[in-house]
Every structure is written in C-alpha cells, then in structure tokens.
Amino acid sequence: MIKYSAEVSAARSAGKPIVALESTIISHGLPRPKNLEVAREVEEIVRSAGAVPATIALIDGVIHVGLEEDQLIRIATDDSVVKASTRDLAIIEMTKQSAATTVAATAHIAKLAGVDVFATGGLGGVHRGHSYDESADLTALSQLEIIIVCAGVKSILDVAGTLERLETYSVPVLGYKTNKFPGFYLTDSGFEIEHRVDSPAEIAAIWKNRADLKTNDRAIVVTNPVANQMNPALHDEILNSGLAAAAANHIVGKAVTPFLLEHFHTASKGESLRVNIDIIKSNSQLAAEIAVALKK
Ligand code: PSU
Ligand code: MN
C-alpha cells in the first residue's frame, strides 16, 4: 500500500530518526518555481540535523513516503496534482490521481509508516466568520499520536476559536522558547500559551510521559515562532482584502486556504513568501532535532 523512497527505506531498516513533511505546501501553498527549491532545501535541512526527510504524497494513486527527485518535481510542477485530505485518500488510490497531502492526510500516512515527528508551516483550524469551516487538521490531531512542529495556526484563521478546539480535543500546545502563541506570518498572535519548552529533550520527555499516562492517543503541537515576522500593519491590511476577495469570488471548501495564501504572496510582493519559507525551514530543523531526541 505504501512505497518508500530508497532513503526512507534504509532509514527504517537502520532505525534512524525520520521526519514527515507535507506536500500541500509545495503544490498549493508556495508559488512556482520557489516551491521546488524550498522543498529540496527543507529536505537538506532535515538531513543536516541528523534525520531523514520523508515528504509524503500520492503519485498515480500510490502513497509515497519519501519522494524521489522526479516525484518531487511532479508534485511541484504538475497542474493535475490535487490537494488531498484524509477523506480523499482511498478515493485517490482508486482513481489513480496524483495528490499532495494536507497536514491531516500527511499525519495519517506518517502514522501508518511509523513516523512520529512531522513539520509543516502553519496548522489548519477554524476559519474566521465560518464556525463550521474547520480544517480536518484539527480532528486528525485529536486522533493521531504524532508531534507536529508548526508556527501556530495560519493567521488567516480564527486563532481564538482554533485554540479552544485544541483544548476540547485535549491536544497539548507547547511554545518552543516562548509563552506567546505564534501567529504564522507574525511572531506573536496575541494569545498566551501556558506551557513553554526550551529543548528537544524536554519534548521527548513529555512524549514518553504521555505514553506512561496513556494520554498519547492524540498529537502534541509544538509551536515555533518565526524570527523575522511580516510587518503587522501590512499583514492585517492584506488579510482584510483577502477575506473580502474570497467572499466576493465565492471561494469555498479546500480552495479557501490556497486562495488566501496566494493573495498574501501577491499582495505583499513576496514579503509573506519570505516569511513562509523561513517558517518551514526553521520548523523542519526543529522537527529533525526532536526526531533525534526521541531516539535517545
Ligand atoms: N502551512 C503552510 N502552507 C500551507 C499549509 C500549511 O505554510 O499551504 C497547508 C497544509 O497542508 C494544511 C492546509 O493542512 O494548508 C490546510 O488547509 P485547509 O484549511 O483546507 O484544511
Ligand atoms: Mn475548510
């Protein structure tokens, strides 16, 4: 059912630390041709930190954990690549389409492959003004034992609502070297986080304690704030114009998030893109360090 890249297959046999990487950010989150460049750089960051990268996607209906070069190019450049959440996986296998996986779908496949650590940019969550538009990322996190490293939830979302949902689902939220909940493009979303951690070793200790306590049937969210944030005034202005444009164009369902991210990248003339790239690189670095710490 799952095909492993040569590198991931060797890492599994050797018991090496592996980091799962999502592919929707490559296909639908970052503009071309930067997306392919970043996908490659992120994999290299994971390797330099002593872990093995496993970018996850479906190619012609087959689930791949770890992509070979031609497969990564396919995800980054082929217009027919769709965005797949967990509910889409079995259907895409049947139709033999190629698909990039969201946080929810990537986490699901990572668990099937026995991978415990996962890096993304920003989590999905509750959408502003639409309390029934809630990313399947949240329900996935409530069901999968995995550590996800992110820069908080995407700032296009209802951050307060998303934090409340994470509390309901008993998903712990940790601030990496901070007590401020990161705001994706912004270092601080304006919300506090109760629990701060200062090292991958502390996160590994929490992971082990949860197994003993049997509170490990769900994810741990590690939030890693971006160092050089977007200008907050510019951020808020673009967010407002983006939300208005999404409503005016009747953008719904899985198209909402890619639409808003694209609006940001265009309207900010590359400033949000610069931040998004910083985020994914720094999260991948931290995820690799955590994966290494879990093996100690
Ligand atoms: N983080 C980014 N860019 C992205 C995403 C995350 O920096 O494009 C993707 C992830 O795959 C996440 C998805 O799961 O956006 C959320 O989409 P939705 O709101 O439709 O669930
Ligand atoms: Mn949605």
Question: Mind listing the pLDDT tens digit for each residue in 210-267?
Answer: 999 999 999 999 999 999 999 999 999 999 999 999 999 999 999 999 999 999 999 9
> Is the sign of the CA dihedral 147, 277, 123, 255 positive or negative?
negative
Ranges of residues in the chain with a pLDDT under 50 are none
Phi, psi of 118 (to 5 degrees): -145, 135
Q: Which amino acid is at 208?
A: K
User: Cβ(29) to ligand 1 under 6 A?
Assistant: yes
Query: What amino acid occupies position 28?
Result: H
**In the annotation, is 69 catalytic?**
no
Radius of gyration, alpha carbons of the chain: 18
Quick check: is 295 catalytic?
Answer: no
- Pair 56, 64: CB distance under 8 Å: yes
Q: Given this model, what pLDDT does residue 130 score?
A: 75
* pTM value surpassing 0.85: yes
Tell whether ligand 1 has an atom less than 6 A from the beta carbon of residue 119. no
Question: For 146-168, what is each residue's pLDDT tens digit?
Answer: 999 999 998 889 999 999 999 99
| CB count in 10 Å sphere of residue 213 | 8
Six token digits for residue 221: 């969210």
Q: Which residues pair with 100 in a beta bridge?
A: 57, 83
Judged by DSSP in three states, 241 sits in helix
Q: Which ligand places an atom closest to the C-alpha of 56?
A: 1
Residue 286 bridge partners (DSSP): none
Distance 255 CA to ligand 2 centre (A): 8
Q: Please choose, from the candidates 67, 86, 65, 88, the residue with its C-alpha nearest in 3D space to the C-alpha of residue 78.
A: 67
What is the reported pLDDT for 257?
93
Distance from the alpha carbon of residue 180 to the mean position of ligand 1, in angstroms: 21
Nearest ligand for residue 25 CA: 1
Which of these, 80, 36, 89, 31, lies nearest to 58 by C-alpha position? Answer: 89
Q: What is the dihedral of CA 158, 22, 82, 92, to 10 degrees?
A: -110
Annotated active-site residue in 111, 154, 180, 254: 154
pLDDT at position 164 = 96
User: Is the CB–ligand 1 distance for residue 149 below 6 Å?
Assistant: no
Cα(208) to ligand 2 centroid in Å equals: 33
Give the residue ranges of DSSP H helices in the chain: 6-14, 24, 34-48, 69-77, 89-95, 103-112, 136-141, 159-168, 200-213, 232-248, 256-267, 271-294
Confidence at residue 284, expressed as pLDDT on a 0 to 100 scale: 98
3 DSSP β-pair partners: 64
Does residue 254 have its Cβ closer than 6 Å to ligand 1?
yes
Among the atoms of ligand 1, which is closest to the Cα of residue 100?
Answer: 11
